[in-house]
Structure 1
Amino acid sequence: MSNAPRYEIDPKAFWADPYPDLARMRETTPIAYVPQLDATLITRRDDIFENEKKTDIFSSDQPDGLMTVLMGQNMMRKDGAAHQAERRAIFPTVSPKTVQRVWKKHFETATADILDRVQPNGQADMVADIARPISGEALKAMTGLTNMTWQEMDRVSQGMIDGCANYAGDPEITATCHDCTASIDAHIAQRKPALHKAPDSSLLSVMMQAELSDAQISANIKLAISGGQNEPRDAIAGAAWALLTHPDQLAKITNGNASWLIAFEEYARWMSPIGMSPRRIVKPYETKGVTFDLEDRVFLMFSSGNRDAASFTNPDAFDLSQDASKAISFGAGPHFCAGAWASKCLIAEVALPMIFDQLAGIELTGDTPFGGWAFRGPLSMPVRWQV
């Protein structure tokens, strides 16, 4: 175990709002062992940025990790040549060119349909009724699992997310996760014959064309679903909430002094939908007076780094005028999120502008609770608009 100073947390309070504890850690124990998580947390932005690139020390290969055990070994849990080979295989799906040429139209059509359905009602829950189906329909198209409903896409994603964050070992959460991964495998098997006959740009199709193994295909589809449903959902609803609760920031967009992309990137910095990424120590290492031992578990706390006062002028505020270029919302090293371009297109080019355009006078009608530290987003968000 590392010799990092111990920092105790209340797990329930940390789930409800991790930012007070993360601020104290950055100030007093920037590399700290948290016994409730059985992990050493690295909390300062520059330390994360530097060490994430050292894959020979901070390895993503975690054979005993929850993601690998529950979902199979995907490219996110591989380093070096193995990681790069699978990343190259999926690139035809997630490249900026494919996003603009193929997926943007899917995003626009699905989002318009969803907003057309809810608009006459004059009210909705932004998370459940708008952001969730927008994210789900986008992910159906990109994965190639068009035989899956968006509701099932959301269910299996949440089940895997809960399973991968189940550090307390709750057996019910594990059982639900297994049920969700079985559903994904069944949907993959159903879609393969059609994609053999008519290949397309979807993730399932391009991996089949690259002749990846069934295990590789299954694991990477599950990775895409676990990361491609909840985080865009949380970012769409969360960014909308941030703009509605900060009308001065929304005004910067409407008067042309900021863009929807800036709003999304600033929100992702301020309220990081992906709060951390785990690593395994594979050779002894010392940094900043802390010695790591073999097999230590380390959490790179992106959410904490994104509020580091050494890197951001107004770190605890949602401020579209500040420079967020040092944000590590999508990671910082070789595991930089492969879906970043798709996320930016879906959220900043399609969902946010269409929501604020089509739901005229949109406003909050109640509280918006947030939850999570490994993954964070609004749990519900009642809104209304003019009809």
Structure 2
Amino acid sequence: MERPVYDIDPQAFWQDPYPDLARMRAEAPVVYVPQLDAVLITRRDDIFREEKRIEVFSSDQPEGLMTQLMGQNMMRKDGAAHMGERKAIFPAVSPKTVKHHWLAQFRSATARILDDLAPRGACDLVRDFAMPVSAEALKAVTGLTRMGAEEMDAVSQGMIDGCANYAGDPEVEARCNDSTRLIDQHITEMWQSASGADDYSLLRVQQAAGLPEDQIRANIKLAISGGQNEPRDAIAGTVWALLRHPEQLEDVRVGRASWLQAFEEYARWMSPIGMSPRRVAQPYVLHEVALKPEDRVFLMFGSGNRDEQVFARPDAFDIHQDISAAISFGAGPHFCAGAWISRALIAEAALPMLFERLPDLSLAGEARFGGWAFRGPLEMPVTWAEGERSR
């Protein structure tokens, strides 16, 4: 049958995609959106199943925005090529490395940031806490330790804006190109610098694996494009959700739930990674909709994570509901390689340390959210009582 068509208002979709996504799930779970020039797959079980069908839904996208702007990183490869590079970076991101190497560094950096922040009594939690916590972790993990936190945040934002620039805005593309050039400069600066046997950074483990330089550079850009904004947004967003649901925050504080539950429920509910693109590699029919080679398909993780057929309270933040079916980190061979890093940084460092240091933290105004391919709070004013301003 002909592809169903669903029109969106791009600005309204950026501000809040969930009403449109709910209608798509109900009316046409495989639907063409002209404003995005893409076919959207919106139901959780379809995404979970079809993402694994790499012979149809290919990550190899030579004409895709990410490939054009950042180079062909491992996220844009399938099969043996993808798995080979994934194996090469594994020493940097494995659960063992995270537990025994990165977690202590994450906690140390978070403590320093809180030491500087605590005397102020008020801040924008996105800019002043979540951003530097995420950036300091990413500097260590990538090996680009001479990059400033604000610089890391800016180049990450520049790249993700570029990768979601389906409207073709030349200014957005120019900022993305400036960001990739700056990252290349930092990689060049660190390329020959001395490293020790305990250097598990992405730069060093890829060098040790013998990957070509262009692949090393592309994979570091990939890590920065997702490894900064997504933890940043999840840290601030989870804090916002807990402060708006004080009974759930209390459950975590007294041990009836965990910080990890809070983070993973937020990641389901607000999906910092809302979408992953694919290229149709061969003719295929899904829900009687014919897909043609070279069609662009978006796997809408943010929609699947609110599927009414899967989750008991899809539109509610509820840390006690069963979210074992969530696809926040993906569902197939491209399951997020940084998942263990995110869990440790957010659930074992940022969240518990923030609420321990500032137990009277409270919202001081509305938090603004934006995005659909990548979604998170844009600003989040908070305050804390005079007594928490110092140890």
For normalisation by structure 2, the TM-score amounts to 0.97
Instruction: State whether residues 313 and 321 of structure 2, in contact with CA within 8 Å, keep that contact through their aligned partners in structure 1.
Output: yes
Tell me, what secondary structure is at the counterpart of 2:193?
Answer: helix
Q: Which residue of 2 aligns with 1:194?
A: 193
Query: In 1, Cα distance between the equivalents of 2:197 and 2:350?
Result: 29
Give 1:196 deviation, angstroms. Answer: 6.2
2:335 is aligned with 1:325: no
Give 1:257 deviation, angstroms. Answer: 1.1
RMSD across aligned positions (CA): 1.0
Give 1:218 deviation, angstroms. Answer: 0.6
Which piece of structure 1 moves more, 292-301 or 167-176? 167-176
Query: In 2, Cα distance between the equivalents of 1:219 and 1:335?
Result: 16
Match runs of 1:235-384 below 5 Å: 235-384=234-383
Q: Deviations over 1:24-62 (max 9, x none)?
A: 000111111000000000000000000000000000000
Query: In 1, Cα distance between the equivalents of 2:2 and 2:109?
Result: 51
Tell me, what secondary structure is at the counterpart of 1:194?
Answer: coil
Q: Deviations over 1:185-213 (max 9, x none)?
A: 11001101114676710000000001111
Instruction: State whether residues 159 and 177 of structure 1, in contact with CA within 8 Å, keep that contact through their aligned partners in structure 2.
Output: yes
Instruction: State whether residues 30 and 286 of structure 2, in contact with CA within 8 Å, keep that contact through their aligned partners in structure 1.
Output: no
Q: Which residue of 1 aligns with 2:389?
A: none
Query: In 1, Cα distance between the equivalents of 2:197 and 2:348?
Result: 29
Q: Which residue of 2 aligns with 1:102?
A: 101
Task: Identify unmatched segments of 5+ residues in structure 1.
Answer: none
Q: Which residue of 2 aligns with 1:27?
A: 26
Q: Which residue of 2 aligns with 1:180?
A: 179
Which amino acid in the other structure matches residue 12 of structure 1?
A: Q
Query: In 1, Cα distance between the equivalents of 2:248 and 2:147?
Result: 37
Q: Which residue of 1 aligns with 2:223?
A: 224
Query: In 2, Cα distance between the equivalents of 1:48 and 1:94?
Result: 25
Q: Which residue of 1 aligns with 2:125?
A: 126
Instruction: State whether residues 61 and 280 of structure 1, in contact with CA within 8 Å, keep that contact through their aligned partners in structure 2.
Output: yes
Give 1:360 deviation, angstroms. Answer: 2.4
Query: In 1, Cα distance between the equivalents of 2:275 and 2:194?
Result: 35
Which amino acid in the other structure matches residue 101 of structure 2?
A: V
Tell me, what secondary structure is at the counterpart of 1:280?
Answer: strand
Which piece of structure 1 moves more, 307-316 or 91-100? 307-316
Q: Which residue of 2 aligns with 1:8?
A: 7
Query: In 1, Cα distance between the equivalents of 2:207 and 2:8?
Result: 45
Which amino acid in the other structure matches residue 180 of structure 1?
A: S
Give 1:22 deviation, angstroms. Answer: 0.3
Which amino acid in the other structure matches residue 42 of structure 2?
A: T
Give 1:255 deviation, angstroms. Answer: 2.4
Tell me, what secondary structure is at the counterpart of 1:61?
Answer: coil
Q: Which residue of 2 aligns with 1:154?
A: 153
The number of residue pairs the alignment matches comes to 386
Query: In 2, Cα distance between the equivalents of 1:243 and 1:197?
Result: 40
Tell me, what secondary structure is at the counterpart of 2:63?
Answer: coil
2:78 is aligned with 1:79: yes
Which amino acid in the other structure matches residue 338 of structure 2?
A: G
Give 1:252 deviation, angstroms. Answer: 1.4
Give 1:354 deviation, angstroms. Answer: 0.6
Query: In 2, Cα distance between the equivalents of 1:251 and 1:198?
Result: 43
Among all aligned residue pairs of Structure 1 and Structure 2, give the percentage whose two residues are the same amino acid: 66
Which piece of structure 1 moves more, 248-257 or 7-16? 248-257
Which amino acid in the other structure matches residue 233 of structure 1?
A: R
Q: Deviations over 1:315-363 (max 9, x none)?
A: 1100011000000000000000000000000001110001111012000
Give 1:288 deviation, angstroms. Answer: 1.1
Give 1:248 deviation, angstroms. Answer: 1.7
Tell me, what secondary structure is at the counterpart of 2:327?
Answer: coil
After superposition, the Cα gap between the structure-2 partners of 1:195 and 1:60, relative to the gap in structure 1 and judged at 3 Å, is: farther
Instruction: State whether residues 331 and 337 of structure 1, in contact with CA within 8 Å, keep that contact through their aligned partners in structure 2.
Output: yes
For normalisation by structure 1, the TM-score amounts to 0.98
Which amino acid in the other structure matches residue 242 of structure 2?
A: L
